[in-house]
Amino acid sequence: MAGVLAAVVLVPTLWPSDSGESLEYSEWRELVIDGKIATAEINTGSGKISGEFTNEDKYTTSGGGERGVSEADEALLLENDVKYKFIPPSNNWLLGLLSIFLPIALIIGFFVWLQRRAQGQMGGVMSIGKSKAKAYDASRPSTTFDDIAGYEGVKQEITEVVDFLRMPERFREIGARVPKGILLVGPPGTGKTLFARAVAGEAGVGFLSVTGSDFMEMFVGVGASRVRDLFQQARRMGKAIIFVDEIDSIGRKRGAGLGGGHDEREQTLNQMLAEMDGFETSEGLVIMAATNRPDILDPALLRPGRFDRQIVVPLPEFSERKAILDVHSRDKQMGPDVDMDTMAQATPGMSGADLANLVNEAALVAVRRGSKQIERIDFENARDRVVLGARRESMLLSAEEKKATAYHEGGHALLATVLPHGDPLHKVTILPRGMALGVTWSLPQERHTYSKEYFEDTICKAMGGRVAEMLTFGHLNSGAANDLEQATGIARRMVREWGMSDRVGPMAWSSQQQVFLGDDLLSSGREYSDDTAKLLDEEIAHILTHQEQRATEIITKHEKGLQLIAEALLEHETIDGPEVARLIQAGMLGEGGASAPPVPLRGTDA
């Protein structure tokens, strides 16, 4: 309607018209005086004048004022026998209609907008029970197992699901039943969601992705309704995979906690359990879920017939870390000195997401450095930033603080090099990073079990900074707070959990009971007597005191080496493990002379 009104108003103004020759007003007066103007029509509204020459040609002029002509010019027209008349401004009937109908159209449009908005709100309320799952057809996701580096054991275990979705008749012929639910368990960042997408891509079936929080709403029963709609949507797709990420948000133990259960969460969980019992394996539906907290899941979820298979997606090993680094560095400009074997060896405990972030950080460091390639130094700086924290350029230490930090870190570095069972030393620095004034970084070796001697050497190394300061300056400061916290935590677990105390014997008590896990509140108290508690405290104190004495003896023996390490740190600020080992050896040779036998040290080639 608005377009029609605009066309009615604008088209006449844009339509071409033959208005004749256009004259200036002064030129028109001269023609009047010369007797060449026959007629004149003067518009009193616009002041424009139009008419005909004596030869009957038409003309127009802008006029000479609001009235069109002055009284003198009107007399001039009479004097030269020009037929003239004044024309009042004509009323545009289209503009009149527009002024009437435009307000009406605006009012009608406003009410139509209100009605549509109300319908949209009602539609949102009526669709609150609909599933929020993101649906992908057989061509999406296109992720396959080839896109996942490493994890060959996990791939082999999960291939059975792919085979079932591709060729279910093979399983029916022999009477085998494929698990209805598969639970992917592992630390954050290990690629559990990526595995679910790869299964759907390999099988070529539909994929429904939803997170546990999508089921939760302020209204009780909405989550259960969304679960029903999710399974109905999956059945309409035929063969499909339903993937529920972070299932622990709705699958916690029912009736747990101090304040009772959450009605909405429990109803959602009950509906999911009922749906998993309802669909048959022959339907071609497989539900997969991911969590990094399997200990808080309701036991009903994990029984046979529901999530009856758990696949652990662990942190990657050395070969897997190298493959992951190769994948993430595939599309980046890598320098010739970058060795992925070394980087994989230097990043134990990192997940796939951590490694991807490491490669990206190295690229950012290279850009800041002005390089067009990612070189080894960029990876080193990126790893230091990720593991140790960003360097604090603005922090300036006084000479006394810098010297104390050098001896503190030198004590850690000396013990890390000399002790036989700890992790080998990688580098030591007195540059402030993160929350620390200095850092001694040992390179963890690939281990799955740890010996008592390893923990004792770790505690002894943690005491090194405190002991070095005490022997050098004769007093202590607060810099060893984190070291003592780490050492006390290890000693406590040695006594309470790992049975590494001769006096306590082969007994273990967990550190703390979590009430929300569904355990009874009354049974979460202390499980041992006061005498046992006293014995535990004595053994923890004995371990810490003994390792401090051990650290004192070793540092006293290598006092010259400690001094050389501290001097090197004050001069260079950062030194690596082999250099620390060389300085300790030089200190021993300096004290014992050239004939002193070499001391076995544990420097690394990091």
- pLDDT tens, residue by residue, 12-21: 444 444 456 7
Minimum mean pLDDT range among 1-10, 196-205, 462-471, 582-591: 1-10
Q: How far is CA 270 from CA 59, 266, 303, in A?
A: 91, 6, 14
Pick from 70, 72, 63: nearest CA to 42: 63
- SS3 state at 114: helix
Amino acid at 363: A
C-beta separation of 348 from 384 below 8 A: no
- Torsion angles phi and psi, residue 597, rounded to 5: -70, 145
Identify the pLDDT of residue 300: 80
**How far is Cα 471 from Cα 558, in angstroms, rounded to an integer?**
12
Q: What is the mean pLDDT of residues 533-560?
A: 91
pLDDT tens, position by position, 403-451:
888 899 899 999 999 998 888 888 888 887 766 778 887 877 777 788 8
- Quick one: average pLDDT of 206-212? 76
In contact, 339 and 345? CB cutoff 8 Å = no
**Residue 123 — pLDDT band, cuts 50, 70, 90?**
very low
User: What size, in residues, is the chain?
Assistant: 606
Rounded to whole angstroms, the Cα distance separating 468 from 474 reads 9
Q: At 120, list the tokens.
A: 């949209």
**By the 8 A CB rule, do 28 and 37 touch?**
yes
- Per-residue pLDDT tens over the stretch 50-70: 788 877 778 888 766 555 677
Catalytic, out of 246, 275, 409, 456: 409
What is the average pLDDT score of the chain? 76
**What percent of the chain clears pLDDT 90, i.e. is strictly above it?**
8
Q: What is the DSSP letter of 237?
A: T
- Amino acid found at 211: T
Q: What is the pLDDT of residues 502-521, one digit of tens each?
A: 888 888 886 554 444 444 44
pLDDT of residue 540: 93
Extract long-range pairs of 582-589: CB within 8 Å, 24+ residues apart: 584/414, 584/417, 584/418, 584/558, 585/561, 586/561, 587/558, 587/559, 587/560, 587/561, 587/562, 587/563, 588/558, 588/560, 588/561
Which range has highest mean pLDDT (167-171, 238-242, 426-430, 532-536)? 532-536
pLDDT score for 96: 66
Write down the pLDDT at residue 552: 92
pLDDT at 63: 65
pLDDT of residue 14: 46
pLDDT given at position 124: 45
Model confidence pLDDT, tens digit, residues 319-337:
888 888 888 888 888 888 8
Listed range (14-23, 69-78, 286-295, 473-482) with the worst mean pLDDT: 14-23
Say which residues have a Cβ less than 8 Å from residue 336's Cβ, sequence separation at least 6: none
Q: Rounded to whole angstroms, what are the CA distances from 154 to 145, 159, 198, 314?
A: 10, 9, 12, 9
Give 469 or 237, the one with higher predicted confidence: 469
409 is an active site residue: yes
| pLDDT of amino acid 13 | 47
Q: Is the predicted pLDDT of residue 316 greater than 80, yes or no?
A: yes
Cα–Cα–Cα angle for 16, 2, 15, nearest 5°? 0
Q: Is 21 exposed, middle or buried (0-12, 13-18, 19+ CB in 10 A)?
A: exposed
pLDDT for 134 equals 58
DSSP-derived secondary structure letter, 349: T
At 393, the pLDDT band (50, 70, 90 cuts) reads: low
> Where do the domains of the chain lie, and which CATH numbers do they carry?
18-87 (3.30.720.210), 134-312 (3.40.50.300), 318-388 (1.10.8.60), 399-592 (1.20.58.760)
Among 172-176, 276-280, 400-404, the range scoring the smallest mean pLDDT is 276-280
Strand-by-strand arrangement of the 574-576 sheet: 439-442, 425-429, 574-576
pLDDT at 29 over 90: no
Residue tagged 């009736």 (tokens): 255
Flag whether pLDDT at 23 surpasses 50.
Answer: yes
Phi-psi region of 247 (alpha: psi -120 to 50; beta: other; left: phi over 0): alpha
Burial group, residue 193, by CB count within 10 angstroms (0-12, 13-18, 19+): middle
